[in-house]
């Protein structure tokens, strides 16, 4: 823990090489650990009234570890060549980014050389300027009612990027490896003073969308708030209000329209049962056909049976003997078959 505090106070020059190696291992493992701890805090049980502050502090800890900042440090220390921040008259980090590193604003932070000013302006083009937009809707419905499964669609737009561009690794000179932005989307109920849900956006494009599904708990007015926090930059969090009306169940029509032609269609279960019955009928027909074929086969004659028995007793039959036996068998069958008398012809 002391090593992490030394990192957040930027005391790297006083660290031994072995300590710096240990710090690098801990910092590289911090994002996964922070993500897991944040998820646990989000899905905690019991009274959720204070969970929003726990979650926000967990994300803020990740910001401090990536940028080597103390909890009370100014976000302006993330700017290149900024070592101290004036107590009065200093602009916010967002104001500096929106101005693109305007010289008038930089003078309020201190004196910088032209090269240092260029570095700050480059940072302003790289750091994220995020805007939020939200839509609450129920799929294929015009109104929102209590008990509905609704979707809160949150669109996060990086205004510092052009269409088709993607953001690269964050500017973090004190972090030992490449780090990409992760934006946590927190949905908070101002009236109930509790956190509804949360999600994370990992995309690096200009516009990223996050769909948060929830069940409308009651009817009436809802006044929620969406908070977007980046795990890699401090001082760039944005908020957006979410207001919508939940109607009573009795005020909306949730009956399912079925087309008259569709009513005649059989359900999947009915088609499945019909297929099984058809298969049983086919099996029965096949068995009856096999019985008929077996009955129509002629029984072997006594001569053929005698020949087979002789073969079993060790006797030897050549082809001529077999032919004679079959011939004799056919003659016997002809004698048993009664002759059909021919019909006498009638002469005129």
| 236-292 pLDDT, tens digit each | 999 999 999 998 888 887 676 666 776 667 676 667 767 766 655 556 666 666 666
Contacts 24+ apart (CB under 8 A), 167-173: 167/126, 167/128, 167/204, 168/126, 168/204, 170/66, 170/232, 170/233, 171/78, 171/80, 171/123, 171/126, 171/127, 172/66, 172/67, 172/68, 172/232, 173/80
**Which residue has 């220390």 as its token pair?**
77
Look at the alpha carbons of 39, 40, 41, 46 in this order and tell me if their dihedral is positive or negative.
positive
DSSP structure class, residue 158: E
Q: Is the pTM of this model over 0.95?
A: no
CB atoms near residue 233 (< 10 Å): 22
* pLDDT value of position 341: 46
Look at the alpha carbons of 168, 170, 173, 179 in this order and tell me if their dihedral is positive or negative.
negative
Classify residue 181 by burial, with Cβ atoms within 10 Å: 0-12, 13-18, 19+: buried
- Whole-angstrom CA distances from 56 to 15, 178, 197 are 30, 23, 13
With a CB cutoff of 8 Å and minimum separation 6, the contacts of 48 are 194, 195
pLDDT under 70: residue ranges of the chain = 44-50, 254, 256-259, 262-264, 266, 268-270, 273, 276-348
* Strands (E) located in the chain: 130-137, 149-158, 183-189, 194-201, 207-215, 220-230, 238-246
CB 203 within 8 A of CB 180: no
* pLDDT value of position 250: 82
* pLDDT value of position 315: 52
* pLDDT value of position 260: 72
CA–CA separation, 192 vs 179, rounded Å? 36
- Whole-angstrom CA distances from 308 to 201, 220, 304, 311 are 84, 95, 6, 5
| Element spanning 107, H or E | helix 103-107
């Amino acid at each position: 823990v002391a090593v992490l505090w030394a990192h957040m106070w930027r005391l790297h020059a006083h660290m031994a090489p072995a300590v710096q190696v240990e710090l690098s291992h801990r910092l590289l493992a911090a994002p996964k650990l922070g993500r897991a701890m944040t998820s646990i805090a989000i899905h905690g049980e019991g009274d959720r009234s204070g969970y929003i502050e726990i979650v926000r502090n967990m994300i803020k800890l990740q910001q401090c570890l990536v940028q080597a900042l103390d909890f009370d440090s100014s976000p302006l220390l993330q700017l290149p060549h900024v070592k101290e921040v004036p107590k009065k008259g200093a602009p916010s980090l967002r104001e500096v980014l929106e101005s693109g590193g305007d010289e008038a604003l930089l003078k309020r932070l201190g004196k910088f050389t032209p090269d240092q000013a260029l570095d700050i302006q480059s940072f302003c083009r790289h750091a994220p300027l995020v805007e939020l937009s939200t839509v609450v809707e129920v799929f294929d419905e015009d109104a929102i009612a209590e008990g509905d499964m609704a979707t809160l669609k949150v669109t996060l737009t990086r205004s510092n990027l052009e269409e088709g561009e993607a953001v690269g690794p964050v500017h973090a000179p004190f972090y030992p490896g490449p780090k990409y932005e992760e934006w946590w989307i927190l949905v908070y109920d101002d009236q109930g003073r509790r956190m509804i849900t949360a999600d994370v956006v990992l995309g690096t494009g200009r516009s990223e969308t996050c769909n948060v599904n929830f069940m409308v708990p009651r009817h009436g007015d809802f006044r929620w708030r969406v908070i977007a926090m980046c795990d890699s930059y401090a001082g760039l969090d944005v908020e957006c209000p979410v207001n919508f009306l939940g109607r009573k169940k009795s005020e909306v029509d949730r009956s399912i329209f079925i087309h008259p032609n569709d009513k005649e269609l059989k359900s999947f279960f009915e088609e499945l049962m019909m297929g099984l019955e058809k298969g049983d009928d086919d099996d029965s027909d096949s068995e009856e056909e096999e019985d008929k074929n077996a009955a129509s086969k002629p029984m072997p004659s006594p001569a053929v049976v005698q020949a087979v028995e002789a073969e079993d007793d060790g006797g030897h039959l050549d082809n001529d003997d077999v032919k004679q036996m079959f011939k004799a068998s056919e003659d016997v069958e002809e004698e048993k078959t009664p002759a059909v008398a021919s019909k006498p012809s009638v002469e005129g």
